[in-house]
């Protein structure tokens, strides 16, 4: 899951980004409204955490702009202002939820989880390809009932491949969804992580699920 964090306070942004990445989210940070709109319009996000008070505009304005442009990404608005009218205004401009500062990080995670679960209400949270299973709620991964331990980045990569099972995914697509905006897709990092995941998922099994397509990308499918 990829999140855009719009927060101008550097220490706060760093703290939230680090915490979310530990929870296996991919996070881009925008310190102002201009950068936020650019990123939101050029990258696919599952959620936007939007601070109300920014140096060049307000979160209300950004939210309204995105909704006018038919951007339906979930928006969690965050502010130090606890006024009821601000909350009402935020929701009226299109925000999906509202969180007041200071907040407990566990509450932030709970709000994020609740919003993302809405996206999955009509879907089974367990992705299954052959005997490989990945639970998007618990982050548990098994193959032939044997649990597989993955790092946060390995999990994100496997989840993306499983969400697009049977489809060829390019290096560019992987970099956009599994890494952040600053990632250089021309490095060999993607190949390194593909090999790590392949070793954990396929090494002990005769039937291989992760396949490389020279010059094209990768595909996860039953042989």
CATH class entry, domain 126-220: mainly alpha
The string of DSSP letters for 85-99 reads HHHHHHHHTT-SEEE
Q: What is the dihedral of CA 100, 19, 151, 45, to 10 degrees?
A: 50
The string of DSSP letters for 93-135 reads TT-SEEEESS--HHHHHHHHHHHHHHHTTTS-SEEEETTEEEE
CATH class entry, domain 2-119: alpha beta
118-176 confidence digits (pLDDT tens) = 765 556 678 899 999 999 878 899 999 999 999 988 998 999 999 889 989 888 888 87
Domain residues of the chain, as ranges?
A: 2-119, 126-220
The string of DSSP letters for 204-223 reads T-SS--EEEETTTEEEE---
Beta partners for residue 48, in sequence order: 4, 75
66-92 confidence digits (pLDDT tens) = 999 999 899 999 987 666 777 777 788
Position 119 scores a pLDDT of: 66
Nearest alpha carbon to residue 46 among 71, 29, 68:
71
Confidence of residue 208 (pLDDT cuts 50, 70, 90): very high
Cα distance between residue 194 and residue 188, in whole Å: 10
User: Do the bridges between strand 132-135 and strand 217-220 make them parallel or antiparallel, or are there none, so unpaired?
Assistant: unpaired
Q: What are the CA-CA distances from residue 139 to residues 92, 133, 156, 159 (Å)?
A: 34, 10, 10, 9
Mean pLDDT of 170-185: 75
User: Do the bridges between strand 97-100 and strand 126-129 make them parallel or antiparallel, or are there none, so unpaired?
Assistant: unpaired
Confidence of residue 182 (pLDDT cuts 50, 70, 90): low
40-55 confidence digits (pLDDT tens) = 998 888 899 999 999 9
Cα distance between residue 34 and residue 200, in whole Å: 41
pTM for the full predicted model:
0.66
């Amino acid at each position: 899951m990829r999140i855009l964090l719009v927060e101008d306070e550097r220490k706060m942004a760093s703290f939230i980004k680090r915490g979310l990445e530990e929870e296996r989210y991919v996070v881009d940070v925008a310190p102002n409204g201009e950068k936020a709109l650019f990123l939101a319009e050029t990258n696919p996000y599952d959620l936007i955490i939007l601070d109300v008070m920014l140096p060049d505009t307000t979160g209300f304005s950004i939210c309204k702009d995105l909704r006018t442009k038919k951007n339906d990404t979930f928006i969690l608005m965050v502010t130090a202002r606890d006024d009821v009218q601000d909350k009402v205004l935020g929701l009226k401009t299109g925000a999906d939820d509202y969180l007041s500062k200071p907040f407990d990080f566990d509450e932030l995670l709970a709000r994020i989880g609740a919003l993302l679960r809405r996206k999955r209400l009509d879907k089974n949270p367990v992705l299954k390809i052959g005997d490989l299973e990945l639970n998007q709620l618990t982050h548990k991964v098994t193959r032939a009932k044997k649990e597989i331990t993955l790092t946060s980045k390995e999990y994100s990569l496997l989840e993306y491949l499983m969400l697009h099972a049977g489809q060829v995914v390019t290096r560019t697509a992987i970099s956009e969804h599994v890494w952040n905006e600053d990632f250089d897709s021309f490095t060999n990092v993607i190949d390194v992580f593909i090999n790590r995941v392949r070793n954990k998922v396929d090494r002990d099994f005769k039937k291989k699920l992760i396949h490389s397509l020279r010059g094209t990308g990768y595909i996860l499918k039953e042989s």
